Amino acid sequence: MVSRENAVILLFMAAGLALAYGGRVATGLSDTVLIGVLILVGVVAPQAVIGYLDAENSG
Per domain, the residue ranges of the chain are: 4-58
Q: What is the pLDDT of residue 1?
A: 82
Q: Select the more confidently predicted residue: 55 or 1.
A: 55
Q: What is the pLDDT of residue 29?
A: 87
Q: What number of other Cβ atoms are within 10 A of residue 30's Cβ?
A: 10
Q: What is the pLDDT of residue 46?
A: 95
pTM: 0.81
**14-54 pLDDT, tens per residue?**
999 999 899 889 988 899 999 999 999 999 999 999 999 99
